[in-house]
């Protein structure tokens, strides 16, 4: 089709397609009035302009994984205005040309190797790039996350310590932005060499990490180069029962040894000494509520050249796993429950104990391993919070974890966890002067995501209050938020949006004048200027969109 499909409340698909992956939304029971299903740039342009002509508020959906109700919900202050979702999920596909002969239809002056449509979902993109070009993006692995929002918010994943964030490789975008009159959208191609005087270079920088739905509708991403895909990788999943940490001092020691290994070894991420080069090591530490399961550690490892069979090439993996097993004070169980997203259930007593790191780990072809890890979890309701961590775990932070995760069993918290991922490496090596992005978190060692899930709507209040309570306790010395004032944290990840960060308390009545700092740090003034220049009527708006005026 070259024209969009319009779905309204009379369509049998409406009740399904008004929702995204997080079934918590639309929270008001109504949500969007229309869904425009598009499969081409022309259909996106036609759909968006039709909606604007009819005075609908528009939101954009690629994969549908928004953690908050920004796509599905009407704004509380504008419930009378009809809402239309521009759905890009069918606008998929990639192009590759090794000789860098690809050009945008909207600007023939720049040449690229790769074009990725914003409707692509992660797994389709991984498989297509591998089969077509032996390339990959260092982005996330949840199979159904769409490129449109994922890349524009940063694009962080298992290969980011080795190759940086996806936006660090981004070279150009096709984007629909408001026309000068503000009553329609027009296509622009912006890139690294765009004119600074007319603000187009800043618009490109904004697309490198400021998230989707702020300035326009991105329809294509372009790359002059992408990293070679790994050929091999190790995967190892370990578990320790909560009984292994019978007091908070033991837990605190374990957590700080996790931070300490990465803090000590991060400078060697790309060392010429293969026994130290650890950029290909990515770890996910899942501190699960005791009602959910064990404490799990999932490790993904590949060498600097995408192989692991060279002499001493696997030494960083052996060193890290040995270090963490010793820090736990009890030998880990080797589990077969590999999950990048969401909780992992309790181990079975029949599972073996760790004996030999390389023999207990699974050595696989990287593409097959990536396919095995491409789960997105169940379609249910969820609440999420995030933070970047520079410093170690202080006593009050360990106290908060002990209090909220090792409390008495709670059947309603049987899907609650704090996932602490490795960060740094190539991410922190990006030269923001030469290759500017909208990502200011370039000093952090760890990156965490607090998650809680439920299926019964009656459990929402309990789960959300638990989530908020832990977060406030963990950041009690920072007013309940990860501001970088004490140099221990670097705010939050815009691709894990959290509406609580915008307000001073849970009533959501008073705006926190510093909330933009949490997501954008010193980048925020440039982003506001870009918003004023390209979207002065605030067509693209949500609860956490870039404002026209600093709070």
Distance separating alpha carbons of residues 498 and 69, to the nearest angstrom: 10
> How many CB atoms are closer than 10 A to CB 344?
21
Instruction: Identify the three-state secondary structure at position 161.
Output: helix
Distance separating alpha carbons of residues 470 and 467, to the nearest angstrom: 5
Check residue 2 and give its pLDDT.
60
Check residue 1 and give its pLDDT.
47
Cβ contacts of 267 within 8 Å, gap of 6 or more: none
Cβ contacts of 116 within 8 Å, gap of 6 or more: 94, 125, 137, 147, 151, 220, 221, 222, 223
The CATH number assigned to the domain with range 5-87 reads: 3.30.465.10
Contact 433, 440 (CB under 8 A): no
Distance separating alpha carbons of residues 181 and 184, to the nearest angstrom: 7
Q: Which two tokens stand for residue 112?
A: 């690229």
DSSP state letters, 311-376: TTTTHHHHHHHHHHHHHHTSPPEE-S---SSS--PPP-TTSPBP--HHHHSEEEEHHHHHHHT---
Per-residue pLDDT of the chain (551 residues; tens, 9 = 90+): 469 999 999 999 999 999 999 999 998 767 999 999 999 999 999 999 999 999 999 999 999 999 999 999 998 888 889 999 999 999 999 999 999 999 999 999 999 999 999 999 999 998 999 999 999 999 988 889 999 999 999 999 999 999 999 999 999 999 999 998 888 999 999 999 999 999 999 999 999 999 988 999 999 999 999 999 999 999 999 999 999 999 999 999 999 999 999 999 999 999 999 999 999 999 999 999 999 999 999 999 999 999 998 889 999 999 999 999 999 999 999 998 766 677 877 766 678 999 999 999 999 999 999 998 877 888 999 999 999 999 999 999 999 999 999 988 899 999 999 999 999 999 999 999 999 999 999 999 999 999 999 999 999 999 999 999 999 999 999 999 999 999 999 999 999 999 999 999 999 999 999 999 999 999 999 999 999 999 999 999 999 999 999 99
Contact 20, 71 (CB under 8 A): yes
Check residue 342 and give its pLDDT.
78
In this structure, which topology does domain 232-496 adopt according to CATH? Answer: Vanillyl-alcohol Oxidase; Chain A, domain 3 (3.40.462)
CA angle 120, 125, 131 (to 5 degrees): 145
- In Å, what is the CA distance from 168 to each residue of 165, 204, 278? 5, 12, 20
Check residue 348 and give its pLDDT.
61
Where exactly are the structural domains of the chain? 5-87, 94-228+525-534, 232-496
Q: Would the CATH topology of 5-87 be identical to that of 232-496?
A: no
Cβ contacts of 8 within 8 Å, gap of 6 or more: 14, 33, 34
Looking at domain 94-228+525-534, its CATH class is alpha beta
Contact 73, 25 (CB under 8 A): yes
φ and ψ at residue 309, rounded to 5 degrees: -100, 5
């Amino acid at each position: 089709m070259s024209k969009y499909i319009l779905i309204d409340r009379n369509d049998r698909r409406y009740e399904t397609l008004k929702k995204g992956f997080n079934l918590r939304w639309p929270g008001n029971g109504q949500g969007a009035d229309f869904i425009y299903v598009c499969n081409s740039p022309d259909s996106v342009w036609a759909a968006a302009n039709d909606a604007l002509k009819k005075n609908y508020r528009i939101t954009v959906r690629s994969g549908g994984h928004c953690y908050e109700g920004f796509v599905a919900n009407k704004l509380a202050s504008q419930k009378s205005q009809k809402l239309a979702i521009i759905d890009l999920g069918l606008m998929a596909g990639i192009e590759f040309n090794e000789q860098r002969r690809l050009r945008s239809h909207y600007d023939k002056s720049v040449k690229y190797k790769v074009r990725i449509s914003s409707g692509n979902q992660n797994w389709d993109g991984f498989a297509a790039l591998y089969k077509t070009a032996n390339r990959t993006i260092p982005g996330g692995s949840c199979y159904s996350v769409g490129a449109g929002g994922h890349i524009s918010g940063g694009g962080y994943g298992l290969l980011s310590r080795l190759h940086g964030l996806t936006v660090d490789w981004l070279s150009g975008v096709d984007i629909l932005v408001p026309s000068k009159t503000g009553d329609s959208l027009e296509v622009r191609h912006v890139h690294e060499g765009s004119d600074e005087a007319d603000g187009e270079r800043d618009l490109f920088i904004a697309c490198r990490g400021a998230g989707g739905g702020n300035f326009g509708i991105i329809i294509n991403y372009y790359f002059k180069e992408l990293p070679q895909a790994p050929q091999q990788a190790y995967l190892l999943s370990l578990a320790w029962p909560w009984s292994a940490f019978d007091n908070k001092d033991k837990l605190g020691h374990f957590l700080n040894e996790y931070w300490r290994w990465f803090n000590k070894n991060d400078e060697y991420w790309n060392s010429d000494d293969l026994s130290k080069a650890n950029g290909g090591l990515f770890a996910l530490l899942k501190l699960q509520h005791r009602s959910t399961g064990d404490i799990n550690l999932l490790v993904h490892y590949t060498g600097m050249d995408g192989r692991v069979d060279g002499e001493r090439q696997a030494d960083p993996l052996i060193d890290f796993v040995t270090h963490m097993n010793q820090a736990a004070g009890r030998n880990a169980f080797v589990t077969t429950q590999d999950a990048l997203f969401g909780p992992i259930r309790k181990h079975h007593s029949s599972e073996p104990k760790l004996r030999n790191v390389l023999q207990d780990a699974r050595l696989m072809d990287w593409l097959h391993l990536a396919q095995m890890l491409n789960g997105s979890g169940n379609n249910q309701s969820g609440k999420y919070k995030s933070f970047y961590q520079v410093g170690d775990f202080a006593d009050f932070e360990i106290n908060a974890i002990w209090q909220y995760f090792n409390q008495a069993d709670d059947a309603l918290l049987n899907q609650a966890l704090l996932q602490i991922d490795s960060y740094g490496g190539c991410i922190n090596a990006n030269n923001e002067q030469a290759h500017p992005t909208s990502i200011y978190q370039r000093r952090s060692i760890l990156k965490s995501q607090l998650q809680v899930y439920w299926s019964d709507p009656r459990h929402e209040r309990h789960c959300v209050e638990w989530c908020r309570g832990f977060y406030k306790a963990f950041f009690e010395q920072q007013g309940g938020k990860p501001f970088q004032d004490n140099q221990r944290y670097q705010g939050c990840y815009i691709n894990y949006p959290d509406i609580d960060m915008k307000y001073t308390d849970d009533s959501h009545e008073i705006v926190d004048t510093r909330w933009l700092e949490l997501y954008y740090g010193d980048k925020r003034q440039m982003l506001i200027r870009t918003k004023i220049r390209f979207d002065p009527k605030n067509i693209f708006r949500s609860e956490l969109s870039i404002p026209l005026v600093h709070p």
